[in-house]
Amino acid sequence: MLTAAKNQVRVCLLSIKYNIMREMVNKVTFLTNVCFMVLNDASILVQWFILFRLREDVGGYTLREIMLLWGLTAASFGLSRILFARVFSLSELIISGKLDSFLVQPKNVLLSVMTSSTNISAVGDLLYGVVLACACRPGVGGFLLFLLFTVTGTVVFTAFALLLGSLSFWLVRMDILQSQMTMGMISFGTYPDGIFEGISRFLLYFIIPVGMAVWLPLHVIVNFDVRTFFALIGYACLLSGAAVAVFYRGLRRYASGNLMEARL
């Protein structure tokens, strides 16, 4: 059991390493991609400088808190796409029947699929996120919390994308919805939660889990609270559990072949 787990981890790490090596084959392209992503993210700061000229807070956030939020979203989304980029295009994989080659391997299907590609501009996101967080001088404790929540944020983003992607086992056209919903989630995650109220706020915490991925964690970094802290970690576990369950449910349907119409 233990050796099996060890071997599984070995394969996953090797897979991620090879993915990154592939992207690094062309160093110039790699560096341009990363740099442009950093510039891309940084250019949005213009928007915030303008908005903070108009009012001293936006949605109850100071400029420093906005920068921390941006850092957290960028780092989480970045890490998620460095390690598990394939999850974000899972729908395509399912629809075109490309899970077959993972199914003939004697390893965990989900983990093999998840780690089978990377998105290199995401390195820029991660880099920018961490640098931006450091620029906010959160202190050692704050920075450690930031790193921890980057990990839970990664888990929530990935699990949510996995959940949406897995719906492709049942529904058609999920590929477009998956990418739109995940991008939508990231867009919400770069604005303060204070501007949303009522139903939209509820939806953004419990249906599209932006609140659980970045907003609440940010509040905990700014104002530490033990109960929220553990609640967040619990939520990340719960959501990933649900996502994995749905994926395997769907995989049974895949194996029954009823998605095969396009391939006959």
Partner 1 sequence: MRKYAVIYQSVLLENLQYAANVAIGFFTYFVFIFIFIKLWGYMYRTPEELIAGYTKEQMIWYVMMTEMLYFGSNANVVAGEVAGDIRGGNIAYRINRPYHYTLYILTKYTGEWSVRLPMYAAVAAVIGAVMVGPLPRFRLITLPVMALCVILGITINAVFKLCISLFSFWIEDTAPFQWLYNKLILVVGIMFPVEIFPKALQPLLKLTPIYTVCYGPAKLIVDFSPAKCLEIVAAQVVYLAVGCGLMVLIYRKGVRKLYVNGG
Partner 2 sequence: MQVIRVEDLSKTFRVKKKEKGMTGSIKAILHPQTEKIQAVNGVSFTVEEGEMLAFIGPNGAGKSTTIKMLTGILYPDGGRVEVLGVDPTKKRKQLAYQIGTVFGQKEQLWTHLTPYDNFRFFGAIYDLSERETEARIEELSERFALGSFIDTPVRNLSLGQRIRCEIVASLIHKPKVLFLDEPTIGLDPVVKENIRSLIMQMNQEEHTTIFLTSHDVGDIEKLCRRIIIVNAGRIVLDDSVEHLKHHYPDKRAADTQAHEKAAENGDSLSISLEEIITEIYKSEERIAEK
Please select the residue that binds partner 1; options are 26, 40, 105, 258, rule is CB under 8 A.
40
The partner in contact with residue 223, picked from partner 2, partner 1, none with C-beta cut-offs of 5 to 8 angstroms by kind, is none
Least distance CB 139 / partner 2 (angstroms): 41
* Dist CA 65 CA 84 (whole Å): 28
Of the chain, the end-to-end C-alpha distance in Å amounts to 39
Q: How far is CA 80 from CA 121, 122, 187, 252, in A?
A: 12, 8, 16, 26
Q: Is the CB of 11 or the CB of 51 nearer to partner 2?
A: 11
Q: Say whether residue 258 binds partner 2 (CB under 8 A).
A: yes
Q: Say whether residue 3 binds partner 1 (CB under 8 A).
A: no
Please select the residue that binds partner 1; options are 7, 26, 47, 105, rule is CB under 8 A.
47
**For residue 148, what are its two tokens?**
């921890």
**For residue 135, what are its two tokens?**
């620029």
- Residues forming a β-bridge with 58: 61
The partner in contact with residue 54, picked from partner 1, partner 2, none with C-beta cut-offs of 5 to 8 angstroms by kind, is partner 1
Q: Which of residues 164-223 bind partner 1 (CB under 8 A)?
A: 173, 176-177, 180-181, 183-184, 187-188, 191, 194-196, 200
Which one of 4-12, 55-63, 197-205, 223-231 is the stretch in contact with partner 2 (CB under 8 A)?
Answer: 4-12
* Dist CA 165 CA 73 (whole Å): 21
DSSP code for 196: -
x/- mask, partner 2, residues 102-131, rule CB under 8 A, reads -xxxxx------------------------
Question: Looking at beta carbons, which pairs linking 217-221 to residues 24 or more positions away fall under 8 Å?
Answer: 217/72, 217/145, 217/149, 217/152, 217/153, 218/65, 218/68, 218/69, 218/72, 218/149, 220/145, 220/149, 221/68, 221/72, 221/138, 221/142, 221/145, 221/146, 221/149
Q: Say whether residue 29 binds partner 2 (CB under 8 A).
A: no
Q: Is the CB of 140 or the CB of 264 nearer to partner 2?
A: 264
The partner in contact with residue 183, picked from partner 1, partner 2, none with C-beta cut-offs of 5 to 8 angstroms by kind, is partner 1
Q: Which of 202, 230, 205, 203 is nearest to 215 (CA)?
A: 205
Q: Is the CB of 156 or the CB of 259 nearer to partner 2?
A: 259
**Which residue type is seen at 124?**
G
Please select the residue that binds partner 2; options are 101, 180, 187, 200, rule is CB under 8 A.
101
DSSP code for 263: G
Q: Which residues bind partner 2 (CB under 8 A)?
A: 3-4, 7, 10-11, 14-15, 18, 21-22, 25, 100-101, 103-107, 252, 255-258, 260-261, 264
Q: Which residues bind partner 1 (CB under 8 A)?
A: 32, 36, 39-40, 43-44, 46-47, 50-51, 54-55, 58-59, 173, 176-177, 180-181, 183-184, 187-188, 191, 194-196, 200
